[in-house]
């Protein structure tokens, strides 16, 4: 067909006819050129605690300027932000916030970092890249919250100006990715390794959905993969599922499942394992990996106390991996 353009950004490699968009809904073939139509037009703009991303070992207790545009290249049946991630950009309200203004507004709001988050920053790629480049020049740090489903070359380019990333590892199972997310596992693992290689501070989130990815053996494999490929100091967050979007038929994740997952991952050698969406759990606290001293006490997204001393345990002096200032 005349005028088709193939998108090079993610493994879906959409072939897009004139006037049409790729699967992400926002990259449109305009006269033979791909245009990300949400560039400079975020639909969500908030200041969040950085703990909400979640990032627990990166500037704890600080506010982070957080933006998103419409669109996503995945279509997870349980998406918690489906109203914006699975929307056509013309159907939702957006702000006019070009990349240079992102940095100005972040600074005006007292934030020392910016998160590209909520939907999928890898599809509003040029916007995230340009804002990140400007933020870095201005001494503001950049955080990606992403499913990591992207090709290696664009990943490397964006990671050059990325300081930290929370990357979903949704299941250690290709079938889960295909059935629940309309994606595949391999490229996500590649992205995780590339981010780590490039010096991005990486934390991993695994949302546990009852019956679909809660098998302890799979959790153990996931944790073992993290230890072997990203290192034992890479924090892993097990997050609680809530029924929503196209997955209202399953119950919320029992707390016992999350605690069991945490035990599996600690057993596999991960030093810092957290539990998300269960406020008050000890899975929100950072402990010294050597002697168990409580280092950062959190309740929900609030840091109650931070005993880290020069980036380490005040009792035994063991350094704790992270970006602390
Ligand atoms: Zn210690």
Tell me how far the alpha carbon of residue 320 lies from the centroid of ligand 1, in angstroms.
9
Residue 74 domain-assigned (yes or no): yes
| CA of 319 relative to ligand 1 center, distance in Å | 8
Q: Are residues 292 and 186 in the same domain?
A: no
Instruction: Work out how many domains the chain is built from and give that number.
Output: 2
Whole-number Å distance between alpha carbons of 145 and 53? 7
Report the alpha-carbon distance of residue 192 to residue 149 in Å, rounded: 10
Task: For residues 219 and 290, state if they share a domain.
Answer: no
Question: Could you tell me if residue 325 is inside a domain?
Answer: no
Are 185 and 173 within 8 A, CB to CB?
yes
Per-residue pLDDT of the chain (325 residues; tens, 9 = 90+): 679 999 999 999 999 999 999 999 999 999 999 999 999 999 999 999 999 999 999 999 999 999 999 999 999 999 999 999 999 999 999 999 999 999 999 999 999 999 999 999 999 999 999 999 999 999 999 999 999 999 999 999 999 999 999 999 999 999 999 999 999 999 999 999 999 999 999 999 999 999 999 999 999 999 999 999 999 999 999 999 999 999 999 999 999 999 999 999 999 999 999 999 888 889 999 999 999 999 999 999 999 999 999 999 999 999 999 999 9
Same domain? For 106 and 205 the reply is: yes
Rounded distance from Cα 259 to ligand 1 centre (Å): 23
Residue 309's domain spans which residues?
Answer: 285-316
Task: Say how many Å lie between the CA of residue 269 and the centre of ligand 1.
Answer: 17
If you measure from the C-alpha of residue 313 to the centroid of ligand 1, how many angstroms do you get, rounded to a whole number? Answer: 4
The answer on 169 and 152 residing in a single domain is yes
Q: Is the domain of 80 the same as that of 222?
A: yes
Q: Please report, for the domain that includes residue 200, its CATH number.
A: 3.20.20.70
Specify whether 180 is located in the same domain as 306: no
Contact 253, 208 (CB under 8 A): yes
Residues 279 and 298 reside in one and the same domain: no
Could you tell me if 310 and 182 lie in one domain?
no
What is the model's pTM?
A: 0.97
What is the Rg, in whole angstroms, of the alpha carbon atoms belonging to the chain? 19
Q: Has residue 38 been placed in a domain?
A: yes
Query: Is residue 323 one of the residues assigned to a domain?
Result: no
């Amino acid at each position: 067909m005349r005028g088709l353009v193939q998108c090079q950004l993610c493994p879906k490699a959409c072939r897009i006819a004139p006037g049409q968009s790729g699967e992400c809904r926002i990259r449109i073939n305009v006269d033979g050129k791909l245009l990300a139509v949400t560039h400079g037009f975020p639909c969500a703009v908030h200041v969040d605690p950085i703990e909400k991303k979640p990032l627990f070992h990166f500037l704890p207790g600080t506010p982070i300027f957080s933006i998103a545009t419409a669109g996503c290249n995945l279509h997870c049946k349980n998406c918690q932000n489906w109203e914006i991630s699975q929307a056509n950009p013309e159907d939702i309200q957006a702000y006019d916030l070009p990349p240079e203004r992102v940095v100005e507004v972040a600074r005006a709001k007292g934030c020392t970092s910016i998160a590209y988050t909520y939907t999928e920053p890898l599809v509003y790629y040029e916007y995230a890249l340009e804002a990140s480049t400007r933020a870095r020049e201005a001494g503001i740090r950049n955080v990606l919250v992403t499913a990591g489903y992207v090709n290696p070359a664009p990943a490397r380019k964006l990671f050059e100006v990325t300081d930290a990333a929370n990357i979903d590892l949704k299941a250690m199972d290709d079938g889960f990715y295909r059935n629940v997310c309309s994606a595949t596992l391999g490229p996500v693992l590649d992205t995780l390794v590339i981010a780590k290689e490039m010096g991005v501070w990486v934390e991993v989130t695994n949302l546990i959905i009852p019956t679909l990815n809660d098998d302890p053996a799979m959790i153990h494999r996931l944790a073992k993969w993290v230890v072997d490929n990203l290192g034992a100091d890479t924090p892993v967050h097990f997050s609680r599922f809530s029924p929503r979007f196209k997955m209202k038929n399953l119950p919320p994740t029992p707390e016992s499942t999350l605690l069991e997952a945490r035990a599996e991952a600690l057993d596999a050698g991960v030093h810092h394992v957290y539990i998300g969406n269960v406020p008050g759990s000890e899975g929100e606290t950072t402990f010294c990996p050597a002697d168990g001293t409580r280092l950062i006490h959190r309740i929900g997204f609030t840091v109650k106390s931070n005993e880290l001393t020069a980036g380490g345990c005040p009792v035994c002096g063991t350094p704790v991996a992270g970006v602390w200032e």
